[in-house]
Chains A and B, each alone.
Chain A
């Protein structure tokens, strides 16, 4: 028994040495087998936790883009990916960001994904001068906080909230709307953009907030007591699923609507098809699966990711990665953190979701908001809000 600590210490020392050796051999080369330069990019996103699916959607998009670049023989470089999981939470964001910052080979990052985690992580990226391109963080304030190296390829919630409000008021003809958010950076940003526009359209709005929980029974009672025509939930799918279930159990007769954070087939899977049926979902993102222009992307996505279909944010993450590759190509040999961060602002790249080009704030130029609906247990696109309101 007494010798145990010593044995333990020896085992530990051996393990450390082995790990160090393994890492050492890995970090040897900056160029791959066929003499091409290797450029490393990072990915920060939600790879664990209740809303993991959204993170996987984006990660698979990044992987697809990387596989395409690496398969292209004319490309002067190979891309390598380092993943960092922030669980979608503001607490873990800075640690996840630091992991990528500390890896000196990473020259740019796709991510972070959720608005709260982004807000918490960006000060570190700005300080390190490391470019980060979010495929999905839509809180309006993010581009006003002085994050010098922050860009996003998705329209902020001001655009989505306004379009969603117009749709709810004009097409769904709601007189009374219950606006519920999850009190997150993302949720409050979206409800904050939605409510003034609804009021401007003469719709009566009740505002309420609830932190993510499992038990929505008393909230459902409250919503039904208020008898709204439409409930708009600003939050993520795991919670909307439970809320929809609770509302169905209590016989809610109004319509349920939500934003891009809930636009995922997991919503239907977790709420059950019956509770999810008819739910409207808005998103500043098109549906790659039904867009003929994106057919090549869908095929390549399925090939790279073992048959998985692109989901919410997959296209945005793919575009962000290819826009980065476009910048690397122009920079040639001197793709460093510094040169990439200063060159990215003037990128002009035709992606599958939109043309990736930025305002000076880091906001993407021009974007459409689409409406989706759960029909027969599947999320189907209804169309662009602007067109739907006109018709």
Chain B
């Protein structure tokens, strides 16, 4: 069958994956906005959150392997999301404390942060491999997965609907947080000019910690959503991490709405590309698009700064 017959199905798949990229991309973009630092250990925050949510949900699932329904399903998904977010937040908090703050205190050069991030990332991956095993771990169905409705002949499954809805809710929530609250004002102030923000009475250290934790909460919850479709494993962080980073750059790194747009766009491009060409070309196409867009707009689709754009 041709591409056009499958167009809507591919769009739905793409939006689902893209919304996950967007959720993870926010972590990169927030930290970059505030510190001008690419937090390469963010993919491991995502991985740890994913395991946290997965184990919480598995612990509460009935032993007989039956699929729960109704309120039990809603509860399980909520608990999984919550546990994932908490683990992600804790991981991000620890990461900031252990890997970044000591460097910042000593005004270390940029390169030191990068090495520290890579070190923390390797540590987390191998620790997870040791603790959780090096096999993929399955998250059993938390609800009956069926077709909820069809759009132009394309099936929208319960699962993609749940993932997309939760992801979009988180995106909107974050956007409101940054644009409309006092805390968001602080984040934007630090992003614009940290020195001036200090003079204006903003507690920069506190803002930095909160930024890391917010990114971690999102990545952890996103990790749980990811595990619902793709299983969890100790090495799961790398590829989505790179993709999310790409999405952040695509939209304009440091820009919250840019990360959302970049994530969704990347998901769509991958989905179409994987169908039109061989599936293995998916990543090639995604990165070609990135290069092409950066050639025309070097600072990404929506431009760079968190302070100005949000």
Contacts and interface: CB of A to CB of B under 8 A. Distances in A.
B270 to A, nearest CB: 7
Contact of A210 (B67, B236, B278): B278
Interface in B267-310: 270-271, 274-275, 278-280, 282
Contacts of B36: none
Contact of B136 (A48, A50, A249, A273): A50
B1 A226 contact: yes
B159 A210 contact: no
Interface residues of A, number: 37
Contacts of A221: 6, 9-10, 13, 275
A333 interface: no
B58 to A, nearest CB: 12
Contacts of B17: 215, 217
A274 interface: yes
Given A242-B230, A249-B145, A270-B231, A218 B135 contact: no
B135 A222 contact: no
Contacts of A209: 278, 280
A217 B6 contact: no
B6 A241 contact: no
Which of A50, A222, A251 lies at the interface centre, i.e. has the most chain B CB atoms within 10 A of its CB?
A222
Contacts of A242: 136, 230-231
Contacts of B282: 213, 215, 218
Given A221-B275, A242-B230, A242-B231, A251 B155 contact: yes
B134 A50 contact: yes
A208 B277 CA distance: 11
Interface in A227-247: 238, 241-242, 245-246
A366 interface: no
A269 B138 contact: yes
A238 B6 CA distance: 27
A83 interface: no
B136 A241 contact: yes
A271 interface: yes
B229 A245 contact: yes
Given A219-B274, A250-B155, A225 B1 contact: yes
A225 B233 contact: no
Interface in B1-60: 1, 5-6, 9-10, 13, 16-17
B271 A238 contact: no
Contact of A271 (B138, B157, B159): B138
A19 interface: no
Contacts of A25: none
A172 B136 CA distance: 30
Nearest to A210: B279
A266 B135 contact: yes
A2 interface: no
A272 B138 contact: yes
Given A211-B280, A217-B17, A221-B13, A270 B157 contact: no
A269 B229 CA distance: 15
Given A225-B1, A249-B145, A266-B135, A183 B10 contact: no
B140 interface: yes
Nearest to B129: A48
Contact of A270 (B16, B137, B147, B279): B137
A246 B229 CA distance: 7
Interface in B132-164: 134-138, 140-141, 145, 147, 155, 157, 159
Contact of B279 (A53, A222, A238): A222
Given A214-B239, A215-B230, A218-B10, A208 B135 contact: no
Interface in B217-247: 229-231, 233, 235-236, 239-240
- 7 tightest A-B contacts by CB? A218-B274, A210-B279, A225-B1, A217-B13, A211-B280, A219-B279, A270-B136
16 contacts: A48-B129, A48-B134, A50-B135, A52-B135, A210-B279, A216-B279, A217-B229, A218-B13, A218-B271, A221-B10, A238-B136, A245-B229, A249-B145, A271-B138, A272-B138, A272-B140
Given A214-B231, A225-B6, 7 more contacts: A48-B134, A210-B278, A249-B229, A269-B138, A270-B135, A270-B231, A377-B65
Interface of A: 48-50, 52-53, 183, 208-211, 213-219, 221-222, 225-226, 238, 241-242, 245-246, 249-251, 266, 269-274, 377
